[in-house]
Structure 1
Amino acid sequence: MADSFTYDGGSVAPGETQNLRYSVSETYLGDPVRIPVTVVNGERDGPTVVLSAAAHGDELNGIEVVREVAHEWDHADLVGTLVCLPVLNVQGFIAQQRYLPIHDRDLNRSFPGSPDSTSAKRIAHRIFQNFIAPCDLGIDFHTSTRGRTNAVHVRADMDDEGVSRVANAFASHVIIDSTGPSGALRREATAAGVPTVTVEMGEAHRFQRSLIDRALAGTLSVLNEFGARTDGVVSWPGWRTVIGDDDEKTWLRADVGGLVEMHHERSALVEAGERVCTITNPFKRESGAIRAPFTGLLVGVLENPLVYPGNPVCHLVELDEATRHAVEMHRSSRSEPQG
């Protein structure tokens, strides 16, 4: 028999689902700032999994992933507990901006938080202590910032066995191996014994159905891997590359200002020396071109076509010859859409 899931102010008994709005701060008027939380506690003992989104308030794709898992999936056979946090940064979400409006703080650089520090760290502390630290593993959903878009990929500390297991089970084509920045939810949760990955998918300010569906499939695969669900399989994406510190990865940046014409979409495979985009001036005269410094995959590309010198245009990760061949074979056999 499963145990109750407890948090400061309540508990969720085995076999119970609870929707709540949990107070994490107050407004200037002293009214509570509450985050939406759904806890689904299965009748049978198993892992406690936290799914979180919108630590950056304008990153919406992950919100729909977490909502659909919480409210559209059948949890009759759930083994363990799901803690679903669709909107971590409520103030940013309401303002439709990335950071907390209070002093423009980044909530995803504020974990595990502190009860006696800044407003951002107090919010992070309330979330972390009640709904992150009690869990066994986590998936934190993000998108690119406004004006850019990301292919679906995982960011994970692959030196951590638990994190590696989550990352591989999510079944994305690309895993970027890194510990993550200090204060990021995935890094601090992992340090606290809750192996957690970041999933990057698409762009801010919109729902992108194809990417949401891919993330839902990856989430189901993780739950199957850890025994929380038993109605499916652990997926294999067909090919995979893990980009570590010794591999080439770079944001290609504009050297001139102007208007950008992208010649490739996200997830495109580009050859070393190939022109990735062209930058022109208002008179439609070419003023610069960006070429791939190595053969790789575009995991992030520009959506807003206006750049200053130094602005990032696309995120390129290196593929070796074997992986490149696997990508080409997989796409030709499945007519794989770019994600």
Structure 2
Amino acid sequence: MAASGDVFTFNGGKVEPGERQNFRYRISETYLGDPVRIPVTIINGERPGPTAFLSAASHGDELNGIEVVREVAHEWELSDLAGTLVCLPVLNVPGFIAQQRYLPIYDRDLNRSFPGDPESTSSKRMAHRIFTNFIEPCDVGIDFHTSTRGRTNMLHVRADMTDEEVHRLAMAFGSKVVIDSEPPDGTLRGEATNAGTPTITVEMGEAHRFQRDLIDDALAGVQSVFAEYGILESAAVRWPGWRTIVAGGTEKTWIRADGGGIVDMHASRGELVREGEQIATITNPFKADDVAIEAPFTGVLVGILENPVVYPGNPLCHLVELEPEVRRVLESRG
């Protein structure tokens, strides 16, 4: 871990207290031997404090988080910053250039390759360079994602809430929904946390676009985290109005299509739906043989289909149960 108020060092450079650096860091090479570089901004405050990283686009087509990280690094007033901020807006540069989820050519998931290995596959070598230089030195981290192509998510946090420091970070972000889950092996949030850097994943919206409302909500979450950890004195910890933690005993499900067809969704992401309520209809091209999809329990739609065509087994929506007190509050609002 980087000591508070110290120089931030990485392989090939350093950033002194009171200094900001924007640079492109080499993590690999192309077939022609040209460098593959990721953009990095490091702001080292004059006052001592924790070291935090913000990362996005480990999946190259997930764009919302890129704008969150860019705006924090280049539009926020950070003169009173306490500690160090490591901003990594595009981790998967080859995927971003190709506008693909995975690393093109290698067809590997960068977000299943951490902490990396300097003598293994291309993706693990890239992950190793990123992880050892810019993730391990940090005290906390937020990794931004969107849903995969054809689906969209309400803004929510994924975190291992059994870890006390991850729990603190997740609650500080102030999202309405926190999904308590152990991360798969190789994910940035899981491997960073295992290495001593508590990290959460923020899911928000859909691939291939900027969604201003979600970006603004995520920026408010970052500001809240900075307040919790004393990184910005001007910030304040936020309360989202209501919050539910989706833990192991909470009912949750991906509702899937039992037949192929064209989908008409009747509810939006983040919307409360009640047990038995029709949330979608699947029809054939002649608008005949309608199949009604009903909510199996009362809950909130964390994710929904955007592409309106399905095969049998395709996911339609991600429904999670609400804690009883949260459900009562939302139902009282109609």
- How far apart are the structure 2 equivalents of 1:117 and 1:275? 49
Q: CA deviation at 1:260?
A: 0.2
State the identity as a percent: 70
- Cα deviation 1:93-129 (Å, max 9, x = unaligned): 0000100013310000010010011100000000000
State the match for 1:272 in structure 2: 275
Select which of 240, 247, 251 maps to 1:248.
251
- How far apart are the structure 1 equivalents of 2:245 and 2:161? 9
Select which of 190, 193, 196 maps to 2:196.
193
Structure 1 residue 134 corresponds to structure 2 residue 146 = no
User: Match of 1:326, SS?
Assistant: helix
- How far apart are the structure 1 equivalents of 2:107 and 2:290? 35
- How far apart are the structure 2 equivalents of 1:82 and 1:140? 14
State the match for 2:34 in structure 1: 31
Structure 1 residue 11 corresponds to structure 2 residue 11 = no
- Cα deviation 1:112-168 (Å, max 9, x = unaligned): 010011100000000000000000000000000010000000000001111011100
User: Match of 1:59, SS?
Assistant: coil
State the match for 1:152 in structure 2: 155
- How far apart are the structure 1 equivalents of 2:56 and 2:235? 24
Structure 1 residue 171 corresponds to structure 2 residue 174 = yes
Contact 2:60 2:97 in 1 (8 A): yes
Select which of 208, 221, 226 maps to 1:223.
226
State the match for 1:124 in structure 2: 127
Select which of 290, 293, 300 maps to 1:290.
293
Counterpart code for 1:38: T
- How far apart are the structure 2 equivalents of 1:102 and 1:184? 20
- Cα deviation 1:227-259 (Å, max 9, x = unaligned): 101102111111110001111111100000000
- How far apart are the structure 2 equivalents of 1:136 and 1:174? 24
Counterpart code for 2:7: S
Q: CA deviation at 1:328?
A: 4.0
User: Match of 1:322, SS?
Assistant: helix
- How far apart are the structure 1 equivalents of 2:7 and 2:324? 51
State the match for 2:85 in structure 1: 82
State the match for 1:210 in structure 2: 213
User: Match of 1:246, SS?
Assistant: coil
Gaps of 5+ in 2: none
- How far apart are the structure 2 equivalents of 1:56 and 1:13? 31
Gaps of 5+ in 1: 333-339
State the match for 2:111 in structure 1: 108
Q: CA deviation at 1:287?
A: 3.9
User: Match of 1:206, SS?
Assistant: coil
- How far apart are the structure 2 equivalents of 1:219 and 1:116? 35
- Cα deviation 1:167-214 (Å, max 9, x = unaligned): 001000000001111101000000000000000000000000010000
Q: Superposition RMSD on alpha carbons, in Å? A: 1.0
- How far apart are the structure 2 equivalents of 1:14 and 1:140? 24
Contact 1:278 1:286 in 2 (8 A): no
Structure 1 residue 233 corresponds to structure 2 residue 268 = no
- How far apart are the structure 2 equivalents of 1:321 and 1:284? 38
- How far apart are the structure 2 equivalents of 1:145 and 1:189? 23
User: Match of 1:102, SS?
Assistant: coil
Contact 2:245 2:323 in 1 (8 A): no
- How far apart are the structure 2 equivalents of 1:20 and 1:328? 50
Contact 2:226 2:235 in 1 (8 A): no
Contact 2:64 2:210 in 1 (8 A): yes
Select which of 160, 164, 167 maps to 1:161.
164
Q: CA deviation at 1:285?
A: 1.1
Q: CA deviation at 1:274?
A: 1.2
Q: Give runs of ≥4 in structure 1 deviating > 4 Å.
A: none
Counterpart code for 1:215: A
Counterpart code for 1:154: V
Aligned residues: 331
- In the superposition, the TM-score normalised over structure 2's length comes to 0.97
Alignment of 1:298-313 (within 5 A): 298-313=301-316
Contact 2:146 2:205 in 1 (8 A): yes
- Cα deviation 1:257-310 (Å, max 9, x = unaligned): 000000000001011111110000000113422211111000000000010000
- In the superposition, the TM-score normalised over structure 1's length comes to 0.96
Contact 2:106 2:123 in 1 (8 A): no
